[in-house]
Structure 1
């Protein structure tokens, strides 16, 4: 059956029942996410938790989402709309399981496979349970990740509304196709099976909720919760003065044309209780995979950005449910044929750093009218690396890794160090796990110490340094950004530091090759070491207002040198005594204020 109607809710749910159902939704989503990462085999899902899970109504509205990577869960409504366009059989049946990843039919990008199961209640289709997760290898042109490829067909297996199970029966031909078209087939199949288990559990829990409270009550509660999230989002938007706010920045290159930087321009239009994010003026689409699927990634990035700015649970006095309501007041515009809305069949796999820079620029654009809510420039990138090689047996090993960045300084505190930021929320991969399963060793993993973070009353966060050594001949593909434009300082704070990436080998001391921020399928030798230095965040506020003792602590902790403390903060540190010369500091700060 494919009947997608249900009785209109005829009642208002009382506050207690409403909160109970809200808690049930959130618990179901968290349980789905937990099952997915606990059952998965690849470290990118099992350890990094690069996934999302949730429940959706028959009209594809998000009812609840797991607390995982924002880019995943916010994208699933786009997947559902794409599935509606392409669904095998053109109809849903009970116990169907669909896999979908087509970037021109709503997906975020091809490695993020969605698994969706329909939720039937009393013989009618009433909703969906679904999840997405980033997979190790789906048979693309290069193992794990791709950047320099000509079109979407080089991205690997494309699924559009494809049924892995039909009425509960496995589509064995499709399962065999998947097994025979991935370099990491065992992990891929096991991880998809974990997704299926997670989605089926979500559907089961959804039905249990409907049986307990009744369909009218549950969906009335869902609608009230979505309306509440929308109302609170509109209220926060209405507190921003009406106007057009613009910021722009530059991406390093597209992974092939090294002499051509790519412009990102963001105009935020605030009108009453609605906002538009307009990306007109950003670069044209690229001939590589460095483009962004509009439905599954560009729009989701804008939603995530405003949720962070307006509904951050850490600083808000009320907690607003994560559901479709918070998306409704936000419009996203990107010209067709631009980097944020490419035309098919352009490749769009390497789409993440552009999204992070978009959010970074939304924050920068709104800084003049939201000084107490914004932060200085973050690393706003992502270091996504794929290491791979061939074992003596002839089988591939493939390892995906997301490296940390740093936030910018904040209105009341320093930027957090060495952490995913803006719209990434993946965890670091334990080094022990790496050594147990992959022929690699981590030679260095620590806070960056070669350049200081952005100076400010609240300093920028410090990025990470990670050096990974391969023990056999291997291939590396690396997607990162911000090698040419440092995270910005704000309200008197100074800029942070750009990132960098190097290739060395202990057998050739003194030889160091500086790499571009992104490169594809690089063949390396045994004992070659790729070292990634993530950008440091920008500073917030006048550095001369930073308490001298805080500057001393930073120097003693090795965050920056005594010379930098003197030049940037006007603080004279006595390293031998481990104290501040307060008289000399007062004199120097007075002189620096006179100059400025």
Structure 2
């Protein structure tokens, strides 16, 4: 709708809608092609967003859903802190403060305002995981007890000001990372993504005119908002609850409770985390914006999932997370492993609403990133220091009509990829001798939960190992009579043959050359009575070695 109340041509609106998302895809491709570290160019641990002049979403690429949900919030929070005039043409603003951006310090948000004819018309934003930001241990420590141990913490900081590089700041950043050259390279990859968005957005304005583009945007936003309100209104009013617990916070052995209440009232949905654990000593905490982002992912799973996210999405969703809880952490809470609770939380939203939306609900998936971090010196490369950070795939929950997906990355990570074995062995001094589907790990049911994966690493040199594997206490639950999936397992076999399988979390554990590390991720929950599983499906499971 134009400023005088007139709607745009619907064909033009659809062209512009698709152009917004195409611009974001181009930005993401530029970032991945330009990145220096494999966690971005192979793992694709990144996301981009094209925003309007108010910081609302115009288009997003494929990427980590957990990142996509709050890039707009970061732009708007900075404007609240500093005013909209803070954004000047040619600026590149860097941010990783966990209490603003919500995630851990390795996730770097880059914000670039887009101007056309001297007027701010939008923002090109991106977030990417940087391999090392100067934490006490390489990568991300699993035993940090306060944020100061987790690396460099940046409030909104202009690394380019009106087009001029702030070289002293860049030099400081480079000097405080174990991989300073790659850090600067990845920063400039994100800047390249922003420049791509800037160029394409200006081209769109020149083609259609700014007033037409804004009118199309307003129509798109209004349509998304109306469709979501209609979908919520179709859900019976009431309170829907779910509870779970993380294994621990990585420091103590005490479980970390997570409690969710979903309230539906007319066209509004409220998600309330009151009753969840207070912020912990260990790093399972996160900032409020990241909690909002996770709950937006869960909301989108159930409410109009086929429609892309834009500035009209989520207007009917309200989030309550008490200050000082793991979901609204305050300084100096550690936040390195913030995503463990959020993966569970997304599953809990689906579980809570399953009575009201049985045709859309799925059982729980394996639920955590299941991260391995290997670090050491590579004798093949003159003893150069290396860090290999990898998330592992697992099983997803079954639903009423189909089995869960085997060996898929978890829901917070979206398009994240594990490394191809050839890339991993080329870059790091270890061999992967086995990689496959972990049979029998999915929960039984009329529809079977997806199976997890297993991977076996043989270390060619002395190496330190950090682990973060979750969901062994609150295992992936089934629905409607389906069984829960298996939890994760890690086995470490020393060169002398002695073995241990008591570790799911550890930090910088020293291992000798010749050690074998076997990791196995969890499976998804089953759906429905196992006695009702068809003979055809059982036969296919046996033929494919999904079950014993």
Tell me the equivalent position of 1:368.
355
Q: Distance in 2 between matches of 1:362 and 1:15?
A: 35
Q: Distance in 2 between matches of 1:361 and 1:270?
A: 16
Equivalent residues of 1:55, 1:129 under 8 A apart: yes
Tell me the equivalent position of 1:13.
8
Tell me the SS of whatever aligns to 1:129.
strand
Q: Distance in 1 between matches of 2:511 and 2:291?
A: 34
Judging changes above 3 Å, is the alpha-carbon distance between structure 1 residues 429 and 391 closer, same or farther for their aligned structure 2 residues? closer
Tell me the SS of whatever aligns to 1:327.
coil
Q: Compute the displacement of 1:523 (Å).
A: 2.0
Q: Compute the displacement of 1:154 (Å).
A: 1.6
Q: Distance in 2 between matches of 1:299 and 1:502?
A: 36
Tell me the equivalent position of 2:500.
513
Judging changes above 3 Å, is the alpha-carbon distance between structure 1 residues 107 and 126 closer, same or farther for their aligned structure 2 residues? farther
- In the alignment of these two chains, the number of paired residues is 544
Calculate the aligned-residue CA RMSD, in Å: 1.8
Equivalent residues of 2:287, 2:328 under 8 A apart: yes
| 1:406-433, Cα deviation, whole Å (9 max, x unpaired) | 1111111100000013222111211111
Q: 1:268 aligns with which of 262, 270, 278?
A: 262
Pair 1:232 & 2:227 matched? yes
| 1:478-536, Cα deviation, whole Å (9 max, x unpaired) | 2221122321111121111111122123x223x22124332222222223233221111
Matches within 5 A, 1:354-365: 354-365=341-352
Tell me the equivalent position of 2:459.
470
Matches within 5 A, 1:225-304: 225-258=220-253, 260-295=254-289, 297-304=290-297
Q: Compute the displacement of 1:247 (Å).
A: 0.8
Tell me the equivalent position of 1:564.
none
Q: Distance in 1 between matches of 2:23 and 2:204?
A: 10
Q: 1:415 aligns with which of 385, 404, 409?
A: 404
Tell me the SS of whatever aligns to 1:174.
helix
Tell me the SS of whatever aligns to 1:369.
coil
Q: Distance in 1 between matches of 2:377 and 2:180?
A: 14
Q: 2:116 aligns with which of 115, 118, 121?
A: 121
The TM-score with structure 1 as length reference comes to 0.88
Q: Distance in 2 between matches of 1:89 and 1:163?
A: 14
Matches within 5 A, 1:22-421: 22-84=17-79, 91-258=86-253, 260-295=254-289, 297-313=290-306, 320-391=307-378, 395-421=384-410
Tell me the equivalent position of 2:431.
441
| 1:76-109, Cα deviation, whole Å (9 max, x unpaired) | 1232134335669972321111111111223432
| 1:431-488, Cα deviation, whole Å (9 max, x unpaired) | 1111111112212211113x44211111000001112233222222222211223211
Q: Distance in 2 between matches of 1:126 and 1:89?
A: 12
| 1:262-319, Cα deviation, whole Å (9 max, x unpaired) | 1111111111111111111111110122212111x10000001111112233xxxxxx
Q: Distance in 2 between matches of 1:205 and 1:182?
A: 33
Tell me the equivalent position of 1:549.
536
Tell me the SS of whatever aligns to 1:311.
coil
Equivalent residues of 1:292, 1:354 under 8 A apart: no
Q: Distance in 1 between matches of 2:130 and 2:4?
A: 39
Equivalent residues of 1:145, 1:385 under 8 A apart: no
Q: Distance in 2 between matches of 1:455 and 1:203?
A: 50
Equivalent residues of 2:441, 2:522 under 8 A apart: no
Q: Distance in 2 between matches of 1:45 and 1:160?
A: 23
Equivalent residues of 1:87, 1:160 under 8 A apart: no
Judging changes above 3 Å, is the alpha-carbon distance between structure 1 residues 555 and 321 closer, same or farther for their aligned structure 2 residues? closer
Tell me the equivalent position of 1:491.
480
Equivalent residues of 2:49, 2:126 under 8 A apart: yes
Q: Distance in 2 between matches of 1:390 and 1:467?
A: 20
Using the TM superposition, name which of 469-478 and 130-139 deviates more. 469-478
Using the TM superposition, name which of 381-390 and 42-51 deviates more. 381-390
Judging changes above 3 Å, is the alpha-carbon distance between structure 1 residues 546 and 89 closer, same or farther for their aligned structure 2 residues? closer
Q: Distance in 2 between matches of 1:267 and 1:84?
A: 31
Structure 2 gaps, min length 5: none
Q: Compute the displacement of 1:351 (Å).
A: 0.6
**Which structure has the larger Rg over C-alpha atoms?**
1
Q: Distance in 2 between matches of 1:234 and 1:519?
A: 45
Tell me the equivalent position of 1:533.
520
| 1:53-73, Cα deviation, whole Å (9 max, x unpaired) | 121122211111111111112
Q: Distance in 1 between matches of 2:3 and 2:103?
A: 32
Q: Distance in 2 between matches of 1:374 and 1:292?
A: 26
Judging changes above 3 Å, is the alpha-carbon distance between structure 1 residues 452 and 434 closer, same or farther for their aligned structure 2 residues? closer
